[in-house]
Each structure stands twice: as structure tokens, then as C-alpha cells.
Structure 1
Amino acid sequence: MHCSVTLENMKRWVKMIRFIGGLCLVTLLGIAYISYLCHNSLCLAPERFSLSTKHSVSASSSSSSRSEVPSSPTSTAKLVGGLASTVNIESVAFKEAYEMGFDITDRDVIVFLHIQKTGGTTFGRHLVRDLILENPCNCPRKRKRCDCFRPNTINEQWLFSRYSTGWKCGLHADWTELTDCVEGALDEYEGLARKRRYFFITVLRDPIHRYLSEFRHVQRGATWKGARHFCGGQEFTSLPHCYKGSNWTGVELDEFMNCSYNLAHNRQTRMLADLTLAGCYTGYNTTTDQLQRDRILLQSAKQNLARMAYFGLTEQQAVSQYIFEQTFHLDFENPFDQANATLSAQAIAELTPAQIERVRQLNSLDEELLEFARQLLQERFQLLKRRDPHFRQNWLRMVHPFKSERNDANSLV
């Protein structure tokens, strides 16, 4: 009898142990699944789409005045560490770029952040067709893209741009998208995971001219529907459109300006800023904290621009070309042509004073960003000029390629 009771107790213990073991297994599987979701940023989404406490305090304490947003390159340098960064890739800043140069044979990659209607299409073609290289990009006829492979490789890209790799991070990908996507996109393209050094570059334009150029482009039927708007671990596919139907062809300027969620407004600031710092696209242009959000975006855009290896200005082609060549130690075969602003000037001439003022208001962040960029561009130009023992020859080659140095000594900047 005693043995029978003991055997029954043992069976109960075995069943209990199996039951507990099953619970443990289910729990472990649940934890593993949740970890997988978090790794893919899904469970963190609500937190990443809100303004952090740190930035809310900083912005709200000075939301009544834009003057506290750094407006000079020197003050922007102090921002490092002031804003949290989500960039996990190795990004090369201007100083390191011009001191060490660009190594096309190793792991360096130029990443072109192409903002709409800034002259980026022309500049992008210069990059693939006009650089003097030992192994130039291969640009087959009747094909839009070129193969810009490193010397002695068959698929390693040194240029990430529209005319080399295509829109692998989305149509006109912004800073937030590119820094999150570029390394994975190149790993997939090349079939090899590796760490690279990224040299981010861009081109900026006068905000009024750029805005009106985009308006005319949209008026002719452009939509940029292929843009991904990827931010904070997810793609925002439900952003509202300003138009019904397939496009906004024939839109008038007042209607174009009156759409509060038109991404043309302050486009350059938005595309250069880390959008995760201001809630991504959640409540875009509709929140009660719009001044706070604007301040964060402008501050972030200035910081990212200052950290970029290179940027140019459409209005200053020669200076922009000189800075690029000296920074990367690469020369262009032909000088950049000064952008023709006739169409934009004509469009501005047709506007009423009230419309011009409205355009300025809608692009006030871009106006402040451009003023900052002009100062920073001149600082970089003067620095490189002082360090260049052949400045006179290099400069004349860009501004007057077919004239002698003696005849044009007075044309130097």
C-alpha cells in the first residue's frame, strides 16, 4: 500500500513538472517574439513618435523667440550633444573630409541627399559624368543610371545617388530615411555586410525660388508619390494629399499655399532634420506645439548641415564647385554653370506683394536655414582658400576656364 501511494505521488510530481516546464517554454517563446517585434521598432513606435521630455523642456522654454535657435556656424558647433542622434553609421564631417580626403578604393561612400528643385539633377549628373577619375563611372547610352564601382571591383559602389544606385531608400529620401537605410541598402546590393564611411552631401537653394519651382512642377503634374516617408521604424503611407484624383495638375498658387500639410512648405529644413526628434509625421502641421516642433526641426537641420562633409548652394556655383574639389581632392572636368533663375524670377514678378509675403511665411524656416548655410559656405571657402597654394589657378579654372590668369586677376573672390 505504501509503495502504491508513493508511486501516485511521483506521477503527480511528474505531471506538475511537465506543466511548469510547458509554461516556461510558452513564456520564453513569448519573450522571444516580443523581442523580435521590438527589434523591428514596432513596440517602440508610440514612444518614438512623441516629443521627448528633454526636447520639450528645451523648446518650450524659448518657444516665444526664434533668436535662441543658433544662427551661425560657430554656435551650431555647440549643438553637438544637444540633440539626440539616431544615426548609427560612420558619417564623415567636413573637417575630417578635407584633411584626409576621400578614398575611392577603400570603404568611403558619397551619399547625395537630393532635395527637390534645388538643381540637384544637374549636380547629380556632374557626379557621375564629369569627375576626373582613373576609373570613371560607366554610363551606357539610353540608360539613366551609371555604374560607379570602385577600382578593381564589380559591384562595390562609391556613390549612392539617383544616377548611380537609383532611389534605393525611396524617392528623394531625406536625412532621416538615408541614415536609417543606406548601409542596409548597400549591403543588399553588394551582397556583403560591411562598415563604410559615409560622406553626406546636398545642394540648397533660395527658398522662394525653390518653392515656386516646385509649385510649377506640381502644376504640370508632378506628385512624388514614390516617396516613402520612412521615420521612427515605420513608413507613413497615410499622409493626407492636398488634391483629389491622381495629381494636382493646374493648381493655382493660392490653393497650393493654403494646403496646411503641403510638404513643399519648408521642405529643405524638413529634409535635413532628424524627424524622430519632433514626432516624425504624427500630427504634421496640425499640432498645437507647432512653434516647438519648428524650432526642433530647424535646430536639427542646421546641426546636420554643419556635420555634412559637403553642401553647395545653387546661387553660388563656382564657390560650391571649388569647395567640393578641395574637400574630396577630386576635380570636375568642366566648370559648373550658374543656374538660370529666369523662370523663377519671372514667376516672382507675376506675384502680388501679398503672395510673395505668404510664400516667405510658409518658408521662414528655410529662409533662416539658407542664411546659416551662406555663412557656413563662406567660412569653408575662406578656410580652403587659405590652405590652397594654387588657389588662383584653381579658381580661374572654374570662373573663366578659357581666359588667362593675367586678364582675370580682378575676378577673384
Structure 2
Amino acid sequence: MTEQDLIIFLHIPKTGGSTLNTIFKRQFSVEEIYDHELFQNEVIPLDQLTERQKNDINAFAGHHLYGVHEHFQKQHHYFTMLRHPVDRVLSLYSYLRNYPGYERLKDMTLEEFVRTEPEANNCQTLLLCGYPVQYDLNLAKERLESFDAVGITERFNESLYLLKAVYNWNDIHYNKVNITKKKLRRADVPKETIKLIEDYNKLDMELYQFAKELLQKRLNGLSKKEKKEMKKFIQAQRALNKQNKKAKP
């Protein structure tokens, strides 16, 4: 990997990606990162970037389907973060109900959301399959295996340390951002609805399990020194999280 290679963060919505993105951006200058259509303080859609601008971009983050690398003439490297499908859908529903453009969800029940909204149905598999739009579980797994690193939200700190080890990142301590204040949790939802979400996300359920195993395999491959460093980082981050929680009014 060289400094001129393109590192792509495939940001799947409601997987802790906003927090991860703040850390990702910290590793690059504003002149070389394309962050959700923002480049050098200007909003520029991907298909409107000039070849010169593309050449300057060494880091890319956004809610895009797999295949972003085809817009660039550079060596590329992908990473992403997955989340348990039930928790992701609950978080997404809570978040979108107060998001501009989704006013239709105001009076929509969670069950209706799951049955009718594409974003609540195997979205993680879809984004990893890329174009043409398809729901191919085997293809999604192949994509994940080709990525430099794959994390899961439920093991955010371990996932973050793996990214540090892979890309040699600096300063990965963080404060959580873009947290939905009023969100549903599993305890708030009937078991029948949990089952409904699982049924509508069968591909994502299997993909998530695959991602968990892939993460563990790569964590097992860390050196003894790296494992010790990871343990220290996790302890320090937990202490920071506690401190931030106490400081909240």
C-alpha cells in the first residue's frame, strides 16, 4: 500500500459509521478526503468530480454501493462496518422518523416500515453487492473477504484497533457522534416484531454472522504485541466513555 492508494470506507447507515468516519477523517488532510459528497469544503457529487480532483483523493467515505473504485484510476482498498440487522433496523427507524424527506414515517408503525421500506430489508447485503442492484449473499461474502478490514458495531473497539493495525492510523480514541436520542431498543419491541425484522433480513442475518467470524479470524492473526496494545486501547477507551457519560448534563 502506498500513500497514493485510495482507501474507501463503505459506510452502511446506522452501524456506528459516523463515529468511525470522524476517526477516518482524522488520518487525512481536508485536501485529500472525499467525505459524503464534500470535497475541499465544497459539495460535489461523485459523478461531477474532475479527473484532477479524483487524482487528489486518497480517502473516500460515503453511503454508496460497492463499486466506487471504478470511478478512480488508483489502487484501492475497502473497509466497512456491519451491525446486527435487528438493531440496525430499530436504529434506522428511530432516526429516519425525524429526518427531512422521510415525513411519511411519522405515522408509520415499525411493522409497516419493515414491510414496505427497502432500507429495512437486507440493506447490508445490497450495498456490498454493488451494481447492478442485487441481493446475492455469496457475492456479498466475497466482497467482505476481499476487504482489508471488516468490523462489527457490537465490537467497535476491537474493529477500530484492527483498522489501526491495517492502515497504521494514529489517535483512534473517540467520542460517539450522530447518536439517535430517542430510539427503540429490543426490550421495547414485541418478540413477533423482532421475528418479522429477522424474516425480512435473512440475508443480512447470515452476512452479519459471516462478518463476525471474519473479524475474529483477523483479530486472531494479530501479533502478541498488537493484542496487548489492543487490550490497553480498549481499557482506555472504556474509561473515556465513562468519563464522557458522567460529564453529560
1:318 match? 157
Distance 1:401 1:174, change over 3 A: closer
**Is the contact made by 2:113 and 2:120 (CA closer than 8 Å) also made in structure 1?**
no
Among 227, 232, 235, which residue is 1:396 paired with? 232
**Is the contact made by 1:118 and 1:314 (CA closer than 8 Å) also made in structure 2?**
yes
**Is the contact made by 2:122 and 2:200 (CA closer than 8 Å) also made in structure 1?**
yes
Determine the C-alpha separation between the residues in 2 that align with 1:319 and 1:339: 20
What are the residue-to-residue correspondences of 1:15-54 with 2, within 5 Å? Answer: none
| Alignment deviations for residues 197-228 of structure 1 (CA, whole Å, 9 cap, x no partner) | 1011111111101011111222224558xxxx
Determine the C-alpha separation between the residues in 1 that align with 2:104 and 2:175: 34
Determine the C-alpha separation between the residues in 2 that align with 1:250 and 1:397: 43
Partner of 1:124, secondary structure, is helix
Partner of 1:110, secondary structure, is strand
Determine the C-alpha separation between the residues in 1 that align with 2:13 and 2:238: 32
Partner of 1:201, secondary structure, is strand
**TM value normalised by structure 1:** 0.48
Check if 1:127 corresponds to 2:127.
no
- Give the Å deviation of 1:328: 1.2
Largest Rg, 1 or 2: 1
**Is the contact made by 1:317 and 1:339 (CA closer than 8 Å) also made in structure 2?**
no
What are the residue-to-residue correspondences of 1:329-344 with 2, within 5 Å? Answer: 329-334=168-173
- Give the Å deviation of 1:394: 4.5
1:175 match? 66
Determine the C-alpha separation between the residues in 1 that align with 2:236 and 2:149: 23
| Alignment deviations for residues 237-279 of structure 1 (CA, whole Å, 9 cap, x no partner) | xxxxxxxxx64333211221232x6232111011111443xxx
| Alignment deviations for residues 16-41 of structure 1 (CA, whole Å, 9 cap, x no partner) | xxxxxxxxxxxxxxxxxxxxxxxxxx
Higher helix share: 2
Distance 1:270 1:381, change over 3 A: same
**Is the contact made by 1:223 and 1:248 (CA closer than 8 Å) also made in structure 2?**
no
Partner of 1:161, secondary structure, is strand
Check if 1:368 corresponds to 2:224.
no
Determine the C-alpha separation between the residues in 2 that align with 1:391 and 1:147: 37
Partner of 2:170, secondary structure, is coil
| Count of residues in correspondence between the two structures | 224
Determine the C-alpha separation between the residues in 2 that align with 1:263 and 1:340: 19
**Is the contact made by 1:321 and 1:336 (CA closer than 8 Å) also made in structure 2?**
no
- Give the Å deviation of 1:379: 0.4
| Alignment deviations for residues 140-197 of structure 1 (CA, whole Å, 9 cap, x no partner) | xxxx95759xxxx9971210124xxxxxxxxx21114x244x31xxxxxxxxxxx311
Check if 1:117 corresponds to 2:14.
yes
Q: Over aligned residue pairs, what C-alpha RMSD do you find?
A: 3.3
Determine the C-alpha separation between the residues in 1 that align with 2:98 and 2:238: 39
Partner of 1:200, secondary structure, is strand
**Is the contact made by 1:201 and 1:309 (CA closer than 8 Å) also made in structure 2?**
yes
**Is the contact made by 1:175 and 1:273 (CA closer than 8 Å) also made in structure 2?**
yes
- Give the Å deviation of 1:335: 5.2
Higher strand share: 2
Partner of 2:173, secondary structure, is coil
**Is the contact made by 1:200 and 1:310 (CA closer than 8 Å) also made in structure 2?**
yes
AA matched with 2:156: Q
Q: Structure 2: 5+ residue runs without aligned partners?
A: 42-51, 240-249
1:265 match? 121
Q: Structure 1: 5+ residue runs without aligned partners?
A: 1-101, 163-171, 184-194, 225-245, 282-293, 404-413
Distance 1:396 1:337, change over 3 A: farther
**Is the contact made by 1:302 and 1:372 (CA closer than 8 Å) also made in structure 2?**
yes
AA matched with 1:356: I
**Is the contact made by 2:164 and 2:172 (CA closer than 8 Å) also made in structure 1?**
no
Among 189, 198, 216, which residue is 1:378 paired with? 216
2:144 match? 305
Identity fraction in percent: 24
- Give the Å deviation of 1:121: 1.2
- Give the Å deviation of 1:366: 0.8
